[in-house]
Amino acid sequence: MKALIFVFSGTGNTMLIAKAFASNFSSSEVREIKSPYPSTLDMDGFDVIGFGFPIHAFRAPELFVSFLKNLPPLKKKAFLFESSGEGLHLNDCAGAKSMRILKKKGYEVISDTHFIMPYNIISRFPDEEAEDLYLAGKEYARLISSLIKEGKTKKPHHPFFLRWVPPLFWIEWPFARINGKHFKIDEKKCTKCLKCLHNCPVNNIVYKDGKLVFLSSCSLCLRCAMNCPTDAISIGMLNNWKVNPSYDLEKRCEGKIFVYKKPTRSGVLGRSSDKYLRFVDGLLKAEAKEKPTE
């Protein structure tokens, strides 16, 4: 089965999940969503199309939603996935609007799966917990890919009584643009490597008169700030919530496999990670039971 996966990922978490999905199909291609979108999207010859995004304020980021709105109508199987920092039920309907858009365009959305990954804002997850979440996510993506390949549908979980949550947080989209104008660069730290400028998914950073300037189309993805080699970027009104540097999970998890361990943190976030890790562990145990013994 040939899969094409479109993904918007600010700081790399959702990209890692996209790659995990991709590795489970006989042939696959991962394409990053960035602005401006290509005028034509060659989607011929793929059996299934995946769409992934990070949850921002309990909803999908504006860039992702406008990408979906620009898609051509197509009668194809599709799957959605999103990553977020915790398993709060307020996140449950983040994919509902995207699913509606895809359905209207003719796509048959067969699943919408929520992956928990380490926060890229607010508070930093302990390294070991971050690694476990990624390793669990890889397994979860493998299991969902198997269902897709078997032609099965996993009914999306968008509880009716939580559908009001994403619209209520509409403010995140204009806030991202306004706050982005207030990003600042510490000139003493900046080496003018221009990594931030080249990597911004919406071309919101320009180099003018020897200085880097932030324009007004920021998607608050945090890629520039998290990956700046000298931590020179402050993120406007949210600067106290900065979670630098990057977790660098792909490198740190090389050769490791998921083995359930209780996170060391207590509190809501620790419990949320634990619930997710136990959930994936349960799926793997159920899978092992089903496998015929030789």
Site for ligand SF4, rule CB under 6 A: 10, 180, 185, 190-196, 200-202, 204-205, 212, 214, 218-224, 228-230, 232-233
Would you count residue 54 as binding ligand FMN (CB under 6 A)?
yes
Place of tokens 């999940």: 17
Least distance to ligand SF4, CB of residue 22, Å: 23
Least distance to ligand SF4, CB of residue 179, Å: 9
Least distance to ligand SF4, CB of residue 11, Å: 9
State which of residues 4, 5, 6, 13 lies at the interface with ligand FMN (CB under 6 A): 13
Site map for ligand FMN, 71-110, x if CB under 6 A? ------------xxxx----x-------------------
Place of tokens 């998890």: 253
Q: How far apart are CA 214 and CA 58, in angstroms?
A: 25
- Among the residue ranges 114-122, 191-199, 251-259, 279-287, the one whose residues contact ligand FMN (CB under 6 A): 114-122
Q: Which does 181 bind (CB under 5 to 8 A by kind): ligand SF4, ligand FMN, none?
A: none
Would you count residue 180 as binding ligand FMN (CB under 6 A)?
no
In this structure, the strands spanning 183-185 and 233-235 are antiparallel
Q: How far apart are CA 104 and CA 98, in angstroms?
A: 10
Nearest to 180 by CA among 235, 253, 110: 235
Give the SS3 label for residue 264. Answer: coil
Give backbone dihedrals phi and psi of 133, rounded to 5 degrees, phi first: -65, -45
Q: How far apart are CA 175 and CA 35, in angstroms?
A: 18
Residue 276 sits at the vertex; the CA angle it makes with 271 and 126, to the nearest 5 degrees, is: 60
What are the residues binding ligand FMN (CB under 6 A)? Answer: 9-15, 54-58, 83-86, 91, 117, 119-121, 220-222
